[in-house]
Amino acid sequence: MNAAAAAAKSRVTTDTIRTWCRRGVITATKTAGRWDIDEKSLRAHRRRLTAIRQARRARAAATVHARIAARLTLPQLAGTPKQTAWATDIRDRAVAAALQLVTHNDYGQPTGRTTYQLATGHTQFDRDPLNAYPVLRDTAYTEHADEADYVTALNAVLAARTDARYWIDTHR
């Protein structure tokens, strides 16, 4: 495969492909001034780049989730000691699951503005083991402009749910 075809397939410029060839990032031979690129090597490099991008996005999301979690106010739950212990565990896991769903870019792309909302598509909720959607439904249809706005809304939802029975009954 030549550099132009490799560039089109990889969605990069031909100069980038040539740089990868010169540096030995991908396997290629130069014959009569043209690069002949090994397709397997190119595919492997694209997979490495994809893995790196996904790891960077995951680290960035984890940072946002940690910042939001640190700013949450989890009120004391009312109920018997056994109920409050059980409900506190459920609530903590539901909030953690909700935070995994909460921050994303427009259309899941690596660029674009970040929005703060619960994902409302059914496929996203299939990944939520505790189904945080019904628990935190008051914020589900609201897109928040910034992190502070989202934290305020989520704190309001959590403050309204202080009965241990609510958390227990929702997750039976």
Q: What is the DSSP letter of 77?
A: P
Counting Cα atoms < 13 Å in the Cβ hemisphere of 104 gives 16
The backbone torsions φ and ψ at residue 126, rounded to the nearest 5 degrees and listed phi first, read: -65, -25
What SS3 class is residue 37? strand
CB distance 42 to 6 below 8 Å: yes
Q: Where are the domains of the chain?
A: 1-63, 74-170
Burial class (CB in 10 A: 0-12, 13-18, 19+), 33: exposed
96-115 pLDDT tens trace:
766 765 555 444 444 445 55
Whole-Å CA distances, 125 to 29, 120, 142, 169: 48, 7, 16, 19
* Domain spanning 1-63, CATH class: mainly alpha
Residue (of 2, 4, 27) closest to 14 by Cα position: 4
Predicted confidence at residue 8, as pLDDT, reads 92
* pLDDT tens, N- to C-terminus, the chain (172 residues): 999 999 999 889 999 999 999 999 999 999 998 999 999 999 999 999 988 887 877 777 777 778 888 888 889 999 999 999 988 888 887 777 667 655 554 444 444 455 555 443 333 434 444 455 455 554 444 565 667 777 787 788 788 888 888 888 765 5
Predicted confidence at residue 145, as pLDDT, reads 60
Predicted confidence at residue 100, as pLDDT, reads 65
CB distance 116 to 105 below 8 Å: no
Alpha helices in 72-163 (DSSP H): 81-102, 122-126, 132-135, 147-159
What SS3 class is residue 146? coil
